[in-house]
Amino acid sequence: MIWKMFMHEVSAVVLGLGSICCGVSGVLKLNGMTSDVIEWELLDFNTCMISFTLVFDWISLLFLSFVFLISGSVLYYSGSYMSGDKSYNRFMYLVLAFVFSMSAMVLSPNLISILLGWDGLGLVSYALVIYYQNEKSANAGMLTVLSNRVGDVAILLGIGLMSKLGSWDFFVYSYYMDAEWVMFKVILILAAMTKSAQMPFSAWLPAAMAAPTPVSALVHSSTLVTAGVYLMIRFSPALEGYQVQSGLLIISCMTMFMAGLGANFEYDLKKIIALSTLSQLGVMLSILALGYPELAFFHLLSHALFKALLFMCAGVIIHSVGDYQDIRMMGGLVVYMPLSVTYMTISNLALCGFPFLAGFYSKDLILEVAFMSWVNFVALILYVLATGLTVMYTARLIYYSLSGEFNLSSLSGVSDNDKVMVNSMSVLGMGGILGGAILSWLVFPEPFMICLSGLMKSLVLVVSLIGGLSGYILNMMNTSYKLSSLGSYEVVVMAGSMWFMPFLSTFKNSELSLFTGTYLQKVGDKGWYEYLGGQGIYYVFSKGFGILNELQMNSVKVYMKIFVISAIVVLFMYI
């Protein structure tokens, strides 16, 4: 009982100390450009050595530092958020199991050992999504785990292909993979796309919001979904092929645009934040496809800070307004929850790339480098539209939930009184303000040379202002006038449902198997299998046993018939 009372505090302290140690070690490794590798040989099969490998370089240690920091904050936050839950211990152990799996995945430069953390992430994620045991959570968990199994199979296929080299250490061999390894590169990109929810595997990320909010803050915003991006960062030397990179660029830009468009039609608070995560994952993979893995890693770290904070603020608000997640049931919260609304505004502005917050340093740099690179016109337009849509749905979220009019449905107990939740948000709040500046000095000690025209330089600012004003004004009109969007209902439904991706991922995938199964049941199980199987054999045996029974009744008539038939047969044989 005592352990249960202090479990969140002990876990937060231990993970916090681990975060400090990993952060300091990562900075020292970065300063000296050194790395340490620990390798255990498990099995030697002919010329292939199967080993468990851990690498400690600045990338793995810095990422691990952020994982520990966010995990510690989330566990401390959960001490209050999940305090009334009967399965509190199970929840805490699952989150700690997730941290272990993430650590195994981050520290592994070997495809064999990376599979341990990769599969562990999928398993723990499924257990957390179905934590609230109802039909919606079960369906969301099944969609999550089956989508991620595609990536697991891709990793296994990659292991099979890489056995040709005699080693699975991609730290070494990713520099030497030429054009003949294009299938291996496509398989790894497929694995990263499923884990990072890129098109057409995007449906599972908003569905996974059925999990508790602390899980969303840790698993489905800042660490699990970035596992695919992290894998691509590690494999970035092998991705230097025009066809592979251009395909990944278009897919990631389409995901950015689709997620930003869908978030402008969504009313579920957690799903809006999930779609914004999906959009930012598209940003990371797109700049990775352009050949800038350090920039992708920089945005991965800064995004983890403010997005985890955004989910924590959403959890406090959902708790306070009577467990409603519909933003139309909120409104005017700035009066009743000033501190939580302050943190939420900081994270929202960081998401939009507001100057000198965490998101500004990475996102603005990514957009300017992308505009400076050799990108095609379609990718450039999608970049611009996605940037505007990000500010647009953020303004919409602020209008509906934080400002706007106070709704009667959220009258009960709306306040900032929970010190545990507020303290855990304060840690990430400081990260959301200062994290981007500190990281920019650490990761990029020499400045980037950005050479753009005045129009391209001011394009991001202009698009952001247009998007913010459009989001605020359109939603003021939305609450004041009738919905003119109902005139184009089909377009609105398509844009608001992630281009029908949830339906295509569930109903259409199961339609063929369900139809085939029903047909086989009618024709097979209830048709020919019955005729040639159980019922047919029963009929044959029944008739046979009836005849035998007649033969054993000592009937003179039967004996005379047998005698006559036997005599005729013998006669024909001799003739």
> Tens of pLDDT along 534-546?
777 888 888 888 8
pLDDT tens digits for range 312-329: 888 888 877 777 777 777
Is the pLDDT confidence value at 11 over 70?
A: yes
| Whether residue 286 sits in one domain with residue 231 | no
| Rg, C-alpha atoms of the chain | 30
Dist CA 415 CA 424 (whole Å): 16
State how beta strands 36-45 and 48-56 pair.
antiparallel
Same domain, 254 and 183: no
Same domain flag for 148 and 212: yes
Residue 511 lies in a domain: no
Choose the final residue of a domain: 186, 214, 239: 239
Q: What 3-state class would DSSP assign to 148?
A: helix
440 and 546 share one domain? no
pLDDT tens, position by position, 354-364: 888 888 888 88
- pLDDT bin (cut points 50, 70, 90) of residue 290 is confident
pLDDT score at 484: 61
What stretches of 196-241 show up as alpha helix (H) in DSSP? 204-207, 213-218, 227-234
Q: Does one domain contain both 168 and 105? A: yes
Choose the final residue of a domain: 208, 239, 270: 239
Q: Cα–chain-centroid distance for residue 405?
A: 34
DSSP 8-state secondary structure symbol assigned to residue 42: E
pLDDT above 70: residue 260: yes
Residue that finishes a domain, picked among 193, 218, 239: 239
- Does residue 283 register a pLDDT over 80? yes
Q: DSSP letters of 350-389?
A: HHHT-TTSHHHHHHHHHHHHHHHS---HHHHHHHHHHHHH
Mean pLDDT of the chain: 79
- Kindly report the number of other CB atoms within 10 A of residue 117's CB atom: 19
Asked whether residue 406 is domain-assigned, the answer is yes
Kindly state the percentage of the chain with pLDDT values over 70.
Answer: 88
| pLDDT given for residue 314 in this prediction | 83
What's the distance, CA 297 to chain centroid?
17
Report CA-CA distances (Å) from 239 to 95, 215, 291, 369, 383. 33, 32, 8, 19, 21
Question: Is the predicted pLDDT of residue 4 greater than 60, yes or no?
Answer: no
pLDDT digits (tens, 9 = 90+) for 486-545: 666 667 777 767 666 666 766 666 667 777 878 788 877 777 777 777 777 888 888 888
545 domain-assigned: yes
Query: Is the same domain home to 289 and 355?
Result: yes
pLDDT at residue 287 is higher than 70: yes
Q: Which two tokens stand for residue 122?
A: 């999928």
The answer to whether residues 373 and 435 belong to one domain is yes
Residues 345 and 369 in one domain: yes
Mean of pLDDT values over 185-205: 83
Q: For residue 564, what are its two tokens?
A: 């006559």
Residue 277 structure tokens:
């995560």
What's the pLDDT score for residue 489?
A: 67
Q: Is residue 441 part of a domain?
A: yes
In tens, the pLDDT along 385-439 reads 888 888 888 888 888 777 766 665 555 556 666 677 777 778 878 888 888 888 8
Distance CA 394, CA 448 (A): 29
Q: Are 437 and 534 within one domain?
A: no
Q: Which residue type, as a one-letter code, is found at position 425? A: M
Q: What residues have CB less than 8 Å from 211, skipping those under 6 apart?
A: 128, 129, 131, 132, 137, 140, 219, 220
Which domain range does residue 82 map to? 1-239
Task: Return the pLDDT at 327.
Answer: 77
In this structure, what token pair is assigned to residue 541?
A: 């045996």
Do 229 and 256 lie in one domain? The reply is no
Of the two residues 555 and 23, the one the predictor is more confident about is 23
CB 225 within 8 A of CB 105: no
Q: Phi then psi for 158, rounded to 5 degrees?
A: -65, -40
Instruction: Please give the average per-residue pLDDT across 290-309, as a whole number.
Output: 85
> Residue 563 pLDDT more than 60?
yes
Q: Which H helix or E strand runs over 559?
A: helix 556-574
Residues 94 and 230 both lie in one domain: yes
Give the pLDDT score at 404: 66
**Cβ neighbours of residue 104 closer than 8 Å, sequence gap 6 or more:** 113, 114, 116, 117, 120
Q: Exposure pattern of 372-383 as b/e (b: 16+ CB <10 Å)?
A: eeebeeebbebb
- In single-letter form, the type of residue at position 530 comes to E
Q: What is the pLDDT of residue 415?
A: 66
Token pair for 331: 């409104």
**What's residue 243's pLDDT?**
64
Contacts of residue 216, defined as CB under 8 A and 6 or more positions apart, other chains included, come to 208, 209, 270, 273, 274, 311, 315
Q: At residue 479, what is the residue type? A: T
Residue 11 belongs to a domain: yes
In a domain, 423, yes or no: yes
Q: Which residue has the higher pLDDT, 492 or 468?
A: 468
Residue 349: pLDDT above 70?
yes
Q: What is the pLDDT of residues 55-83, one digit of tens each?
A: 888 888 888 888 888 888 888 887 777 77
Condensed to tens digits (0 to 9), the pLDDT of residues 83-105 reads 777 777 788 888 888 888 888 88
* Enclosing H/E stretch for 424: helix 419-443
Task: Count the domains in the chain.
Answer: 3
Q: What is the DSSP letter of 1?
A: -
pLDDT at 479: 57
State what percent of residues in the chain have pLDDT above 90: 0
Whether residues 75 and 160 share a domain: the answer is yes
Contact 272, 266 (CB under 8 A): yes
